[in-house]
Structure 1
Amino acid sequence: MEITVHIKDPSPEFERELLTLLNKHRASLRHNPGWNTERARTFYDALAPRAQRILRAALAGDDGEVSANDLRDKDDTSLRGHAGAFTRTLKRGATEGWWDSGMQSPIIALGPGSGKVQGYKLRDEATRQAFLSALENTATQK
């Protein structure tokens, strides 16, 4: 049997009792922190348009990567602020209960760690497949 529970705004007493019960049965609980089609679609729909563009471009690449140069509208225009939406959407999803707070961003910035971003890459092949499935019609519509 599989049970999924979503509770919005529980009372402090109810939350305490539920967490105590879950903790008591921790060994039989399964946690799924990965991206699936439903989560991928929700994440994409909540993103700002510039971040959606980055994600679609990464999906279009065979290896799940897109270079920064391919994303620039003009030579050497900055991509500053484009990827902040990924972090905000990830945090919002955890707050809204769309996924656990332990979810990792589906896309990571490539580069030296400081300075200009050299591109973006989908986290792994399973994440790429979840987003491809979720957006199979979207990529052709935009």
Structure 2
Amino acid sequence: MTVTAPGGRLDLVRGGPAREFTVTLRGGDSQAYRHLLLVFQMEPLVPGPGDAPGTGAGFVLERRDPTTGAWRPAGLRIANDQQPYGLSTGGAALARDAVRTERFRLRATAGGPTGSSPVMISAIDTDAPAGTPRERQRPGYFSLPQTTRGS
């Protein structure tokens, strides 16, 4: 799995435009995945001096639908802890030796906090049986640096 963004990071402005990035999944030569799910998570940002955060997470993540070209909401977990892989469901197939690139964009809402917290991106094999080693349950991981500043 590789993740690319202009400059290798996301520089957001509270209430400003979304910034795009891509996630490319490459199927290995040993197995196909029936259900490979991309999961996105950030640590919460603590409001700083002058921040007047509203309710909600403060960020909006969207995925570009490759068929229609429309941007659709995507899940972004804001939490201090990681959700167990076994609680993840769904995902799309990825054949052996296949390559799939997906486009995403992230924006900071006008009332959200400022600061830095990476976007942690995991590829989860939702078909992995309980007791499977963690590295097999999560065959891909990337930490994308992100900073949000005031408008």
TM interval, short-chain normalised: under 0.3
Point out the structure with the larger helix share: 1
TM-score by length of 1: 0.26
Point out the structure with the larger strand share: 2
Structure with higher Rg: it is: 1
Q: Comparing both chains, which one has the higher relative contact order based on Cα–Cα distances under 8 Å and sequence gaps of 6 or more?
A: 2
